[in-house]
Structure 1
């Protein structure tokens, strides 16, 4: 017989929600969550184009080793998986 695991999702306490922008559009994320998590939840699987052929690139390793999730924050190229969401963060694609 299969025993179902109870749903504990309602008991999870999340940090406050804040707004940030990605390519000029407003999105919502939780303070301290990784930017790549918030963007993935918003449906953005491709965060930039590959330098040579423009092929879509997005989250791959999610720990800052591959740089596939590179985005621009405050004029600096950073990994979205190593950048925390904060209020009024302005994020752009690497072109």
Structure 2
């Protein structure tokens, strides 16, 4: 899996999350949004009406475009949720 993080930035402890059944690296202190973006995920969901792809837009919890399923709970905002080791995330591909 790709890691698009800036190498020189100091981070918390490295943890593993699971995205659509695949292990993905994350770091304590970052959001689900940051971990998904660094892992190369750009589309997080598709609209119900038209199936248009949606990803990160505002990154601060206002737009609701980053909704994902976390540990079986649907419609969680990726930009407002901190990662935890072993967290299972589902995004539309």
Equivalence for 1:48: 45
Instruction: Confirm or deny that 1:38 pairs with 2:26.
Output: no
Q: Which residue does the alignment assign to 1:91?
A: 89
Measured in 2, the distance between the counterparts of 1:66 and 1:42 equals 22
Q: How many residues align?
A: 86
Name which of 8, 17, 30 aligns with 2:14.
17
Structure-2 residue corresponding to 1:68: 65
Q: Secondary structure at the match of 1:65?
A: coil
Question: Displacement of 1:50 after TM fit?
Answer: 1.1
Cα-to-partner distance string for 1:27-72 (whole Å, 9 max, x where unaligned): 0010120111111111111111111111110000001111100001
- Given that 2:43 and 2:91 are in contact with CA atoms closer than 8 Å, whether structure 1 keeps it comes out as no
C-alpha separation in 2, matches of 1:53 and 1:25: 27
Name which one, 1 or 2, has greater alpha-carbon Rg: 1
* C-alpha separation in 2, matches of 1:84 and 1:42: 15
Deviation at 1:85, TM superposition (A): 1.1
RMSD: 1.7
The aligned counterpart of 2:23 is 26
TM-score, length basis structure 2:
0.84
Instruction: State which drifts further: 19-28 or 69-78.
Output: 69-78
